[in-house]
């Protein structure tokens, strides 16, 4: 079914949640590896995303550690969960406000609900992979040279906000001027239009006012 990475500070093979995932036929890698290994370099996180479709931080991992690690997973992992008890603690809610890049999943979630949840994720994952393949077929969009540079940079940093200044430096030889910023805005509009022409929603290329842009793959659903 799916390959799931379950991160913990203590492996409990009697855990009902873990065993329910196994019963549902999922390949669960339950690890207590030193989480320092996941911090750097980023390539390690990228390689993890090529193996696993879902990562779950269990309730033994502190919120502060999740907040620290999450930026390294963001952009590489499309499905990130935080396993918690039935009663949300105040600090857990604060953690969500800080990062808001994962979903909560209760450790007491019944097996039938887990079945439906991960079946839906599995379907979305297959569809997302097909869309990603299409989005990586850069030549199909007939981009100009500059549009291609911008698009490829956003593609390599998918699901992350890339600042306008960063894009200008990457695509205009370290030049951040009103002219390059204006040209960037025009290129973004053209890229968005060409994505639409190939059947992708315009909202998959998001503009964050005065911040930058993000190529968001999840909105293709």
Residue 207 has what pLDDT?
Answer: 93
Residue 1 has pLDDT above 70, yes or no: yes
Q: What's the whole-number mean pLDDT along residues 25-38?
A: 78
The residue ranges of every structural domain in the chain are: 3-133, 138-220
pLDDT band at 151 (very low <50, low <70, confident <90, very high): very high
What fold characterizes domain 138-220? Arc Repressor Mutant, subunit A (1.10.10)
Q: State the SS3 of 55-84.
A: EEECCCCCHHHHHHHHHHHECCECEEEEEE
Through-space distance between the first and last CA atoms of the chain, rounded to whole angstroms: 20
Residue 38 has what pLDDT?
Answer: 63
Q: What's the whole-number mean pLDDT along residues 107-128?
A: 88
Residue 76 has what pLDDT?
Answer: 66
Q: Which residue has the higher pLDDT, 106 or 37?
A: 106
Residue 105 has pLDDT above 70, yes or no: yes
> pLDDT for 5-14, tens place per residue?
999 988 888 8
> pLDDT for 180-221, tens place per residue?
999 999 999 999 999 999 888 888 899 998 889 998 876 554
Residue 74 has what pLDDT?
Answer: 66
Q: How far is CA 84 from CA 22, 29, 65, 187, in A?
A: 19, 19, 15, 44
Q: What's the whole-number mean pLDDT along residues 107-113?
A: 92
> pLDDT for 81-101, tens place per residue?
999 886 555 455 555 545 556
Decide which of 3.40.1190.10, 3.40.50.2300, 3.50.50.60, 3.30.70.3270 is the CATH code for 3-133.
Answer: 3.40.50.2300
Residue 22 has what pLDDT?
Answer: 95
Residue 43 has pLDDT above 60, yes or no: no
Quote the percentage of the chain above a pLDDT of 70. 83
Which residue in 215, 210, 100, 204 sits closest to 161, CA to CA?
A: 215
Q: Length of the chain in residues, anyone? A: 221
Degrees, nearest 5: CA angle 61-48-37: 50
Which residue in 61, 55, 67 sits closest to 29, CA to CA?
A: 55
pTM above 0.95, yes or no: no
Pick the range with the lowest mean pLDDT from 37-46, 160-169, 189-198: 37-46
């Amino acid at each position: 079914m799916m390959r799931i990475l379950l991160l913990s500070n203590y492996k409990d093979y009697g855990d009902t949640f873990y065993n329910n995932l196994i019963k549902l036929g999922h390949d669960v890698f339950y690890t207590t590896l030193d989480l320092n290994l996941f911090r750097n370099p980023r390539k390690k996180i990228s390689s993890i995303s090529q193996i696993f479709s879902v990562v779950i931080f269990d309730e033994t991992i502190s919120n502060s550690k999740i907040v620290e690690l999450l930026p390294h997973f963001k952009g590489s992992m499309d499905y990130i969960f935080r396993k918690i008890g039935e009663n949300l603690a105040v600090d857990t809610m604060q953690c969500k406000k800080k990062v808001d890049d994962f979903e909560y999943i209760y450790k007491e979630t019944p097996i039938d609900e887990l079945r439906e949840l991960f079946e839906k994720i599995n379907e979305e994952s297959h569809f997302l992979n097909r869309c990603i393949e299409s989005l990586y077929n850069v030549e199909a969009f007939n981009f100009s040279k500059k549009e291609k540079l911008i698009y490829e940079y956003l593609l390599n940093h998918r699901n992350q906000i890339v600042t306008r200044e960063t894009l200008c430096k990457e695509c205009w030889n370290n030049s951040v001027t009103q002219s390059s910023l204006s040209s960037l805005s025009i290129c973004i509009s053209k890229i968005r239009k060409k994505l639409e022409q190939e059947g992708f929603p315009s909202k998959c290329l998001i503009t964050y006012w005065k911040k930058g842009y993000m190529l968001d793959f999840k909105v293709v659903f």
